[in-house]
Structure formats: C-alpha cells, structure tokens
C-alpha cells in the first residue's frame, strides 16, 4: 500500500508541475496543489530529480519537468497514433488560417495538449504548450469536448474548473455553461477574450466510434482575425479536418485506446 501511495503522490506532483507551465513552480505551491506536506513533497521531488523526471533551477529554486518526463510523454502521447494521423489536418489548417493550431486529447475530465502547430501570421497566440493539461472547462478545444459529455460529467468538470476560473476576470461558470450549450447546438465552440484579452479561439471535438469526444482541434488567433465572416470559414475548415481525423482513427482502430484514456478517472474523476 505504501508503494502505491508513493506512486500516486509522485504522479500528483508531476501533474502539478506540468500545470505550472514553462515558468515552473515552487515547493510550497506544489505541496498545496498535491495536498501534501512540504517535507513529503520535498522528499518525493528529490527522488524524481534523481531519475531525471524533475529538474530544479539553481537560481530561483523552481521545479520543472525533466527531460526524462518529456521523452516518456512524447512516446505516450502518440501511442495511439493520434498525433501522426492528425498531422496532415494540422498542416492544412495552419496553412489555410495562418494561425495557431492545437490538438488536445481528453484524459478523464482534463484536456492534454499533445501537438501544436504555428501558422505564418506574425502575431502568435501560444497560450498552451505541448504537455499542458487543463480542466475541460478551460480552452476552446477542451470546451468542445466538454459539450459532448453527459450533464453529470459537465457538472463534475465545472466543479473542478472553479480554481482555474478564478484566475480569469472575464470568466465565470455561467459563461462557460453558455459556451457549452452553444457548442451543443452548433457543433463548435467560440471563445472571445474569455481567457486572455485580445485572443479568441474556436474548437471542434473529435469523437470515437461511440460518439463521445476523445480529442479536439482548435484554432487560436488575435480577436481581430476572428470576426464573423472569417470565423465562419475557419469553423468550416476545422469541422472538415476533425471529421478527417475521426475517419482515420476509426479506420486504424486507434480510437479504442483513446476512449479508455478519456474514460479514466484521472485527477478527481
């Protein structure tokens, strides 16, 4: 039991570091996020550093994911070939829109970014890094997946989203619910300056053979590039490519493993 608990605690710390993004996180922040004492978190982080899964900056003492974590994640992310299968669609979308394209997969009630492709437009909207993980209530792609779930799962996801929502002054649970309801009617999400001023995004879910979302494609751009007429074209392209990825997944049978990942309990499921 002790060994299982230690693994669970280590996994919790790794997820917390991943959520901190490129900036890294302090020991106190990681201990709080993982519901561990500082001494326990410090001990486990020390062990993770020894095997290369965690690195600590010498100057600020911030913790980051190590190279070994990146190597393992790269293999795991493409285990079911989703990144490979989606690559042609992401290339076409980047060329057509000139904006930033994201591919996320659903892990329980979270969305995990496994691929990002930048378009040629000089102003980039790099709001999510590969390996970034957020609750389904945050982000256009995540919201697109959330809209395809049951009302009970939506309620659980929004409960989990509350701490994230508090970081954004323009966001509240009511607005997220409105985006979800609109997505159920129209088959896509549109978020305008909800998270970052001047940035907007659209997202479309990718479903498995059972019709339940397992992944999503999204396009992010500065808001001036998401006006109604152009946005309609972007959405049409996005839906077409999402359907192409679905067909490729179904043909290869790769959606089976992704459905299991999507149905996993994950953090707090």
- Tens of pLDDT, residues 235-250: 999 999 999 999 998 8
65 and 121 fall within a common domain: no
Identify the CATH number of the domain in which residue 211 sits.
3.30.450.40
Q: Please give the mean pLDDT across all residues of the chain.
A: 85
Domain extent at residue 29: 2-73
Q: Inform me whether the pLDDT recorded for 156 exceeds 80.
A: yes
97 and 139 fall within a common domain: yes
Distance of CA 175 to the CA centre of its chain: 19
- Tens of pLDDT, residues 118-141: 999 998 887 788 878 888 888 899
| pLDDT (0 to 100) of residue 90 | 96
Q: Decide if 124 is inside a domain.
A: yes
Residue 252: burial class (beta carbons within 10 Å; 0-12, 13-18, 19+) = middle
156 and 173 fall within a common domain: yes
50 and 131 fall within a common domain: no
- Nearest-angstrom CA–CA distance, 53 and 65: 6
Residue 266: pLDDT band (50, 70, 90) is: very low
Residue 267: pLDDT band (50, 70, 90) is: very low
- Tens of pLDDT, residues 192-224: 876 777 889 999 999 988 888 999 999 999 999
What CA dihedral angle connects 244, 142, 18 and 116, to 10 degrees? 40
- Nearest-angstrom CA–CA distance, 210 and 136: 19
State percent of the chain over pLDDT 90. 42
- Among the candidates 73, 103, 127, a domain finishes at 73
Question: What pTM was computed for the model?
Answer: 0.75
Domain count, the chain: 2
- Tens of pLDDT, residues 162-172: 777 777 777 78
Q: Decide if 268 is inside a domain.
A: no
- Tens of pLDDT, residues 52-107: 889 898 777 899 888 777 666 666 655 567 888 999 999 999 999 999 999 999 98
Q: Decide if 267 is inside a domain.
A: no
- Nearest-angstrom CA–CA distance, 100 and 127: 9
Q: Decide if 29 is inside a domain.
A: yes
220 and 137 fall within a common domain: yes
User: Which of 65, 101, 110, 64 shows the shortest CA–CA distance to 83?
Assistant: 101
44 and 85 fall within a common domain: no
**Which among 167-176, 221-230, 260-269 has the top mean pLDDT?**
221-230
CA distances from 92 to 70, 100, 119, 250 (A): 27, 12, 10, 20
């Amino acid at each position: 039991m002790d060994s299982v608990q230690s693994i669970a605690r280590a996994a919790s710390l790794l997820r917390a570091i991943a959520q901190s993004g490129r900036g890294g996180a302090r020991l106190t922040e990681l201990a709080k996020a993982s519901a561990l004492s500082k001494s326990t978190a410090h001990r486990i982080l020390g062990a993770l550093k020894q095997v290369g899964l965690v690195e600590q900056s010498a100057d600020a003492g911030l913790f980051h994911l190590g190279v070994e974590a990146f190597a393992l994640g790269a293999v795991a992310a493409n285990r079911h070939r989703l990144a490979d299968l989606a690559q042609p669609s992401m290339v076409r979308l980047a060329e057509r829109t000139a904006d930033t394209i994201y591919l996320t997969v659903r892990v329980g009630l979270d969305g995990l970014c496994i691929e990002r492709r930048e378009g040629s437009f000089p102003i980039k909207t790099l709001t999510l890094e590969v390996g970034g993980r957020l609750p389904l209530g945050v982000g256009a792609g995540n919201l697109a997946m959330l809209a395809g779930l049951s009302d009970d799962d939506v309620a659980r996801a929004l409960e989990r989203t509350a701490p994230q929502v508090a970081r954004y002054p323009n966001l509240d649970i009511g607005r997220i619910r409105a985006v979800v309801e609109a997505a159920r009617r129209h088959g896509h999400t549109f978020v305008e300056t909800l998270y970052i001023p001047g940035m907007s995004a659209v997202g479309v879910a990718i479903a498995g053979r059972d019709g339940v979302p397992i992944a999503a494609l999204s396009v992010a751009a500065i808001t001036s590039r998401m006006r109604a007429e152009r946005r309609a074209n972007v959405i049409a392209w996005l839906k077409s490519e999402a359907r192409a990825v679905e067909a490729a997944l179904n043909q290869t049978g790769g959606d089976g493993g992704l459905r299991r990942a999507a149905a996993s309990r994950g953090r707090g499921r």
